[in-house]
Amino acid sequence: MTERAGAGPLRRLVVLRHAKSAWPLDVADHERPLAPRGRRDAPAVGRALAAADCLPDLALCSTAVRARQTWELAAAEWGTPPPVRFDRRLYAASPAGLLAVVHEVSAEVETLLLIGHNPGLEELVLALAGDGLDDTLERVRTKFPTSAVAVLSWHGTTWRALAPGTALLTSVTVPRGKKK
């Protein structure tokens, strides 16, 4: 039996593109760390999510160094960070691949944070959003930069019910840290 989207509790998928990365010579893409700007912006992401009352019950994070560092710096801004699962499948994943990982999440999770990479994340947000508040869809179509956060809301009893066009894009922010 296929579950109908729109039934069940309100769920939120918080999509976070990793913070700005460095490009050191002779370092494989998967191993690239955050740049100084990324090290400033990632904590700002954590503060922004807390201020928006959008803290996750679970985080799914790419295994790439820059994504892991983004998670660590953002989560350090919260009293008690939620559990995190590092998943290699999120690195350079397509929207379908990302959604397949999301579909595995337990029904107990109401707010899920997904940390990964473009173009997959941007394409996932645009695929899932059947509509958006204000100019959110246009903003994602124009650019989904590093440290961008998109919040998709939808109703469903399981994560498997999340499908293209079933969510509402409620906000898009790009938190930035201040230079010292």
Q: What is the pLDDT of residues 94-141, one digit of tens each?
A: 999 999 999 999 999 999 999 999 999 999 999 999 999 999 999 999
CA distances from 56 to 11, 82, 105, 137 (A): 10, 7, 13, 22
**pTM of the predicted protein model:** 0.94
pLDDT, averaged across the chain: 94
Question: What are the helix (H) ranges across 57-119?
Answer: 65-75, 95-103
Q: What is the pLDDT of residues 74-83, one digit of tens each?
A: 999 999 999 9
**Other beta carbons less than 10 A from residue 22's beta carbon:** 15
Q: Are strands 58-61 and 10-17 parallel, antiparallel or unpaired?
A: unpaired
